[in-house]
Amino acid sequence: MKFTLSWLKDHLETSAGIEEIAERLTSIGLEVEEVFNPAAALNGFITAKVEKCEMHPDSDHLHLLSVNNGTETLQVVCGAPNVKLGTIGIFAPVGVVIPCYNEKLTVGKIRGVESFGMLCSEKELCIGEDHDGIIELPSDTKIGVPAAEILNIDPVIEISITPNRAECLGVRGVARDLAASGLGKLKPLEIKKPVAKFACPINIRVEAKEACPVYTGRYIKGVDNTKETPKWMKDRLSAIGLRPISPLVDVTNYLNYDLARPLHVFDADKLKGDLVIRMAKEEEPFISLEEKEYKLDSKSLGICDDEGVQCLGGVMGGLSKGCSDDTVNVLLESASFKPECIARTGRHFQIDSDSRYRYERWVDPNSNIMGSDYAASLILDICGGEASEIVVRGEEDYCAQPVTLRYERVKTLAGIDVSKEEIIRILTALGFKLTDKGDAVEAVSPTWRGDIEFEADLVEEVVRIRGLDSIPAVSIPSDEFPKQTLSPKQQRILNARHELASRGMFETVTWSFTDSKLCQPFRKGKAPVLLMNPIASELDEMRPSILPNLLIAAHNNIARNDANMALFEIGPEFYGCRPSEQGIVAAGIRCGMSSKKHWLKNERAYDVFDVKADALAAIAAANGPWENAQITTDTPEYYHPGRSGTLRLGKNVIAYFGEVHPLVLKSYDIKERVMAFEVFLNNIPLPRSNVGKAKKKLELSSLQALDKDLAFVVDKNVAAVNVVVAAKNADREYISDVRVFDVFEGGSLPEDKKSIALSVTFQPKDKTFTDQEIEGLMKKIILEVAKKTDGILRQ
Amino acid sequence: MENLKEIEESVLQNVNNALDLRTLDEVRISVLGKKGSLTEKMKSLGLLPLEEKIAAGKVLNVLKSTIESAIENKKQELEMKAINHQLANERIDVTLPIRSETQGRIHPVSKIYEEVVAIFGQMGFEVAEGPDIEDQFHNFNALNMPANHPARQMQDTFYIANPDSTDFDDSFVVRTHTSGIQIRTMETKKPPIRIIAPGRTYRSDFDATHTPMFHQVEGLVIDKTTTMAHLKGCLYDFVKAFFEIDDIKVRYRPSYFPFTEPSAEMDIGCRKGKGELKIGEGDDWLEILGCGMVHPNVLRAGGIDPDEYQGFAFGVGIDRLAMLKYGIPDLRTFFESDLRWLKHYGFLPLDISSMTGGLSNNGGLAR
């Protein structure tokens, strides 16, 4: 919402300057976005008088002037048609910046004659639209005076209006708020009632009373729309960015911004038959004045004649019955429409207009006649003609429900002491009708406010005008010992994050969206969760896994020549479109070499066992029983089928790890191998909270443990874990540890065999082992491994 | 026994001439071994008469200990020589660089999350959560934003079709704020309530200062006596603790949010310079968060009686806090996964924020 200072002062009597006004606007909730003061750009510009005016020797339209700026007389070449001897104007000396061109003025040479400065038009100074000639000041104007002091410069203020303050979409509403805050006095609104010369010749009928409670029409005949809109009105409209068009359009625009009162003007000669306000029919066509075609529906309100919908009520006028330069007779509409209907129509057909913007927030339902009177009298003043009686359909009888404010509520809700008298003063100044009930006041909100429903709304009005800065700041009391801030479920996310970072991985945050064209393999058979209105085609699906985005990140980093990376993210992935069909996952990738080239040659390519270690570390950090997880080689299709694994607890998958499938990498345009893991934190059971915190008692044996090595030949497809588990389970009492220390294929072994060498630790309990006992234990292992894996001891 | 002197001299000379431990040991064996010359002499003592035996024994023992100590001294000398030789040969260039180790990083968004949790935890808040995909009831209607509310247009919402309904009003949304968690909390918890709800939020907006996904933390306090004065106190305590500045300037402007009444926006004092921003100095203002007293309709939607309970709510951008505190210039870079950016703006694994150990710069220096 923009307005100029002089416009504001039409409604507000105040001695406050622009800065004070701006500061107050912000403090009462009308936040100032910008103050544009053209005077600030006029430093150096001064008044000057033309003391000699001759024709340029080489031109039939340029003048050669002697200009006196109060201190010296300079030669100036001037092209303005209105310049003459004795003209006093605004002189720009060499060196100043002309606001309109944003260029520094230099000594010019125009058709061989030097020019030391220029006389300016309004437009060149950015203070008006006039560019037909230079500014002509009254003949008694002093010369050599700064331009900003002489010109009637009107600064523009732009404020942002929150949706609840519809009345401040008109300058008068802003003025009223400022007056209530004590920054001046609201001037009375004086509107001439136009004389009714005849009865309105058009029948007006409202069928959709729900959507249009009040409709007024007034016929004005014999207008001349080619007349000039008054300069003051044009200047104000231009200042707020509205192009003056014709008096009829300008008047309606002006009232929109002056009183937040939308209006519409039909060319009455184009209307056929009665004017009917009704809901549109399904598929009924409408062409807007922006020449766009719409197929309406039964929820949109039409202002119609015999030929169909001519105006989308409260939203936008139609093309065929609008005004033009030839318009002679008009019908002026001033009406009330239901905000819900306007909002729905505007949203449905995606039409934005100043009118919709106001109606869907709130337009004073009792301002129809006043608005019609005001607009009609302006039209008659500018364009001439005669007005009919006003036709009013419906009653201007809106009255808000009273809201009760207990005086103490300002203190108990807002925490500030405001006296009863002050509360009454503020609400009265804002236009509320008050009835004092002793401890409380009953307030009926003015018809221009549609946002006051509750006691809290009235408290806000009081503290807003009073200023929020006057509320004391009181720390919130802490009478109870605080509970744990993070739940165990939340804390373990932090643990996993810090664990993965301490393993040398970089945490990243990527979109929750991903590219549906690339992530099909990651959906694990589920339907994609697509956005109805994605912001970009490659961000159109809620990610079924974090990995697609990490692969995109990998691709981008490789493209930046950063090919070695260890990245992880902990965040949501989505497996359905309903709320809570999501899980929290810690996922990571490793790609390239473990380090850069080094003299110790410790660099190597990342492999599956790096990400397996990451997955196990993340599970452990999240309190997951990582040692008990079963490991299998069935993994989703985006993993390398021979180089990936699944970790399960019971039937729940708690992690996948492995090399990413080369075809998936190809679709992400990645040529390097990428290792990946995903830990599904939701599937890790939380530790039982009722278990005591004491650690298990440490049992230390004074007897030395004994290590023995055993190598087994098994089929190539036997998983090492099965051999290890078989060995471990051979004797649960004395075998304390089994490690794989060598895996070997080829050589003397048959093609389909491999050798797995184990190092087994035997821990005696109460006496050292005899040779026979050791022999017995080893035999147990050999038998068990043979039973479970068909493995044979390698001799 | 007259040649004892000669033996002594020759043995000591041999000891002295030994160049290494092995030669020295040969000398020892030749004299003191089982068949060594001195050992033989000792054996032959048995043949002597008692008195002579005692006298000769004494002499031999003196000789033996002289030789033993000479050998021992020589041994130590040779060992020292050997170790010095070994050390001299083992010299390496310790100025060479260490094995490379990658130090990981924590993303700034996570870091701010942890800081915010630490501060509000100190004030007795708990962390609440909710789904990223929301129904319109929790994201809008329950927050006093019915379908035609103009405020809905202020938030460019992402929609997801509801497979059970073709009505647009039943479609799901990707949450435009974490405010819906207010409602979810009220539905499951009885007052008094003190929660913060951090999380991802989404709006269809992508330019220099907006990304379609960003992070917010929502706060909610509900009890019987909390007023706007507490709201101001709580938020002032927060910004002071967060920016680690004791005399930070703040101001509140009346504003509008459908879910609070009265509503306000909070600005902090700063100095805006050329591409630089200094918090806590200067005469400029920077909007930092929105807040207000919870609207009675919202309490009602959450199943709480607004005649009995009241409280405040606020929402602040986590990414924005990161940018302001840590001088990160561009929001869009947060989500680009650029390794160089992550390394530079990320935090160390040991950087754990707490009110006891400090909010920031407590994880040591980056290596």
If chain A, 795 residues long, is cut into consecutive pieces of 10 residues, what is the mean pLDDT of each piece?
94 92 94 88 88 87 88 88 88 89 87 89 81 86 85 88 93 96 93 92 94 96 93 91 92 96 95 94 93 93 94 92 91 94 89 92 95 96 94 94 96 95 95 94 95 94 94 89 89 96 97 96 95 94 97 97 96 95 97 88 91 97 91 94 95 96 96 97 87 84 91 93 93 92 90 94 90 93 94 87
Cβ contacts (< 8 Å) between A562 and chain B: which residues?
339-340
Q: Does A509 touch chain B (CB under 8 A)?
A: yes
Residue in chain A nearest B251 by alpha carbon:
A469
* CB–CB contact A28 B132 (8 Å): no
Cβ contacts (< 8 Å) between B158 and chain A: which residues?
531-535
Cβ contacts (< 8 Å) between B296 and chain A: which residues?
454, 456
Preferred mutation among A1, A474, A589 to probe B, highest tally of B CBs within 10 A: A474
Whether A491 contacts A621, CB under 8 Å: no
Q: What is the pLDDT of residue A150?
A: 81
Separation of alpha carbons A322 and A311, rounded Å: 9
Q: Is A138 exposed, middle or buried (0-12, 13-18, 19+ CB in 10 A)?
A: exposed
Q: Does B341 touch chain A (CB under 8 A)?
A: no
Q: Does A347 touch chain B (CB under 8 A)?
A: yes
Rg (CA), chain B: 42
Interacting residues of A238 by C-beta distance below 8 A, sequence separation 6+? A128, A129, A244
Mean pLDDT over the full length of chain A: 92
Preferred mutation among A33, A355, A508 to probe B, highest tally of B CBs within 10 A: A508
* CB–CB contact A473 B104 (8 Å): no
Q: Does B165 touch chain A (CB under 8 A)?
A: no
Q: Tell me the nearest-neighbour CA distance from A85 into chain B, angstroms.
A: 48
Q: Tell me the nearest-neighbour CA distance from A709 into chain B, angstroms.
A: 32
Residue contacts between A and B (CB atoms, under 8 Å): 284
The number of beta carbons lying within 10 Å of the beta carbon of residue A761 is 14
* CB–CB contact B213 A557 (8 Å): no
Residue in chain A nearest B175 by alpha carbon:
A579
Within 13 A of B222's CA, how many CA atoms are on the CB side? 28
Interacting residues of B87 by C-beta distance below 8 A, sequence separation 6+? none
pTM for the predicted model, two decimal places: 0.86
Of A471, A557, A574, the CB nearest to B232: A471
Interacting residues of B62 by C-beta distance below 8 A, sequence separation 6+? none
Of A478, A511, A566, the CB nearest to B124: A478
Quick check: B153 pLDDT over 70?
no
Whether A514 contacts A549, CB under 8 Å: yes
Q: What is the pLDDT of residue A145?
A: 86
Quick check: B154 pLDDT over 70?
no
Q: What is the pLDDT of residue B208?
A: 85
Q: Does B105 touch chain A (CB under 8 A)?
A: yes
Quick check: B211 pLDDT over 80?
yes
ipTM of the complex, rounded to two decimals: 0.90
Preferred mutation among B94, B95, B261 to probe A, highest tally of A CBs within 10 A: B261
58-77 in chain B: CB under 8 A from chain A: none
Q: Cα dist. A330→A200, A360, A371, A709 in Å?
A: 11, 26, 16, 106
Residue with token string 């008298």: A421
550-609 in chain A: CB under 8 A from chain B: 550, 552-553, 556-557, 560, 562, 565-567, 571-572, 574, 577-582, 595-596, 598-600, 602-603
* CB–CB contact A535 B205 (8 Å): yes
Q: Which tokens in the block code for residue A193?
A: 């009632």
**Cis peptide bond prior to B212, omega within 30° of 0:** no
Whether B301 contacts B139, CB under 8 Å: no
Q: Does B255 touch chain A (CB under 8 A)?
A: yes
Decide: helix, strand or coil at residue B311.
strand
Q: Tell me the nearest-neighbour CA distance from B83 into chain A, angstroms.
A: 27
The Cα diameter of chain B in Å comes to 132
Q: What is the pLDDT of residues B279-304, one digit of tens each?
A: 888 888 989 999 999 999 999 999 99
Domains of chain A: 2-37+155-186 (3.30.56.10), 39-150 (2.40.50.140), 196-393 (3.50.40.10), 403-470 (3.30.56.10), 488-683 (3.30.930.10), 706-793 (3.30.70.380)
Which of the following CATH numbers is that of domain B108-345: 3.40.50.300, 3.40.50.720, 3.30.930.10, 1.10.760.10?
Answer: 3.30.930.10
Q: What is the pLDDT of residues B72-110, one digit of tens each?
A: 999 999 999 999 999 999 999 999 999 888 899 999 999
Separation of alpha carbons A181 and A183, rounded Å: 6
Separation of alpha carbons B201 and B191, rounded Å: 26
Quick check: B360 pLDDT over 90?
no
354-413 in chain A: CB under 8 A from chain B: 360-361, 411-413
Residues, chain B, total?
367
* CB–CB contact A566 B117 (8 Å): no
Nearest to A661 by CA among A677, A679, A645, A641: A641
Domain residue limits, chain B? 4-89, 108-345
Separation of alpha carbons A354 and A240, rounded Å: 13
Within 13 A of A587's CA, how many CA atoms are on the CB side? 24
Separation of alpha carbons A309 and B273, rounded Å: 55
Quick check: B1 pLDDT over 60?
no
DSSP A567-597: EEEEEEEESSSSTT-EEEEEEEEEESBSS--
Whether A785 contacts A727, CB under 8 Å: yes
Q: Is residue B155 very low, low, confident or very high in pLDDT (cuts 50, 70, 90)?
A: low
Whether A764 contacts A705, CB under 8 Å: yes
Q: What is the pLDDT of residues B112-130, one digit of tens each?
A: 999 999 999 999 999 999 9
Q: What is the enclosing helix (H) or strand (E) of B240?
A: helix B228-243
Decide: helix, strand or coil at residue A257.
helix
Whether A332 contacts A375, CB under 8 Å: yes
Q: Cα dist. A707→A704, A730, A761, A779, A794 in Å?
A: 10, 16, 4, 15, 18
Cβ contacts (< 8 Å) between A670 and chain B: which residues?
none
Residue type, B92: I
Strands A108-110, A88-92: pairing kind: unpaired
Within 13 A of A99's CA, how many CA atoms are on the CB side? 19
For B346-359, what is the mean pLDDT?
Answer: 90
Nearest to A476 by CA among B205, B194, B253: B194
Quick check: B21 pLDDT over 80?
yes
* CB–CB contact A598 B135 (8 Å): no
Cβ contacts (< 8 Å) between A460 and chain B: which residues?
254, 261-263
Decide: helix, strand or coil at residue B329.
coil
190-209 in chain A: CB under 8 A from chain B: none
Whether B103 contacts A504, CB under 8 Å: yes
